[in-house]
């Protein structure tokens, strides 16, 4: 990638700094833009992701929501009527956690400012984990999947909700037009950030497809790895079960 383009995904520590800066700076408009730019479909995606978590096996457990942002995925889990556990919501962009704090004031959600590549938790801590639209921003995806595995108890499930590229060429053409032509303009106007929403389509373009991501899940030690495409394949749910 050319270093002159701030929207281009970078590598290593440079990417980590870039991502932290982006999400810290767009935090005040993050929720609004999520719902507007996804036409509110993101709410249904989060419901489906939590459905895949198999939290019902441990309704009083402790769950991790990594790259938690403003807590939407954590709130989807704790809002389930039979859920009696707790969610630890971790994100390394502290302004995102602060921005969403009012949403979790009375919820069993514990915010933690921490890096997904070096989580501040002991081994075998969590009964399940979710990541919503966060793994594509990791500077080392394989390391991130391994780190999630480390903090999961054997048999616990990791569920990842992420954008992907639609397999159907007609859907893909419309999706790419929206992602590269419309989304950056609207995102720039609403957020006031000059390049954050140009970074988004670039990060999706660089991200592995479902088959490759399943391979990475398996290499990180997850069994039963699989995926489900959503809304014509513009997003996908990926999952795996932490081996013992």
Residue 181 lies in a domain: yes
Q: pLDDT tens, 143-162?
A: 999 999 999 999 999 999 99
Residue 83 lies in a domain: yes
Contact 72, 30 (CB under 8 A): no
Residue 1 lies in a domain: no
Residue 103 lies in a domain: yes
CA distances from 161 to 13, 122, 185 (A): 24, 24, 24
Residue 6 lies in a domain: no
Element holding 240 (H helix, E strand): strand 235-242
Contact 164, 209 (CB under 8 A): yes
Q: What CATH code is carried by the domain that includes residue 39? A: 3.40.50.150
Per-residue pLDDT band at 100 (split at 50, 70, 90): very high
Residue 5 lies in a domain: no
Structural domain count, the chain: 1
| Structural domain harbouring 156 | 12-242
Average pLDDT rounded to a whole number, residues 29-55: 89
- pTM here is 0.92
Residue 91 lies in a domain: yes
Q: How far apart are CA 175 and CA 180, in angstroms?
A: 9
Residue 7 lies in a domain: no
């Amino acid at each position: 990638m050319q270093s002159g383009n701030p929207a281009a995904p970078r590598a290593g520590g440079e990417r980590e700094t870039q991502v932290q800066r982006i999400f810290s700076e767009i935090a005040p408009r993050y929720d609004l833009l999520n719902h507007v730019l996804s036409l509110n479909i993101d709410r249904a995606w989060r419901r489906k992701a939590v459905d895949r978590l198999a939290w019902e096996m441990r309704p009083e457990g402790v769950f991790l929501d990594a790259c938690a942002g403003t807590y939407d995925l954590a709130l989807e889990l704790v809002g389930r009527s039979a859920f009696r556990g707790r969610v630890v919501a971790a994100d390394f962009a502290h302004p995102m956690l602060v921005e969403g704090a009012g949403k979790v004031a009375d919820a069993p959600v514990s915010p933690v400012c921490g890096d997904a590549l070096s989580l501040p938790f002991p081994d075998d801590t969590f009964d399940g984990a979710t990541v919503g639209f966060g793994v594509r921003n990791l500077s080392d995806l394989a390391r991130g999947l391994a780190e999630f595995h480390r903090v999961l108890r054997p048999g616990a499930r990791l569920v990842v909700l992420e954008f992907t590229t639609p397999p159907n060429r007609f859907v893909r053409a419309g999706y790419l037009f929206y992602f590269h032509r419309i989304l950056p303009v609207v995102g720039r106007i609403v957020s006031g950030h000059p390049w954050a929403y140009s970074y988004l389509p670039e990060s999706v373009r660089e991200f592995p497809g479902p088959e490759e991501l399943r391979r990475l899940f398996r290499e990180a030690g997850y069994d039963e790895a699989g995926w489900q495409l959503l809304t014509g394949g513009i997003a996908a749910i990926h999952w795996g079960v932490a081996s013992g």
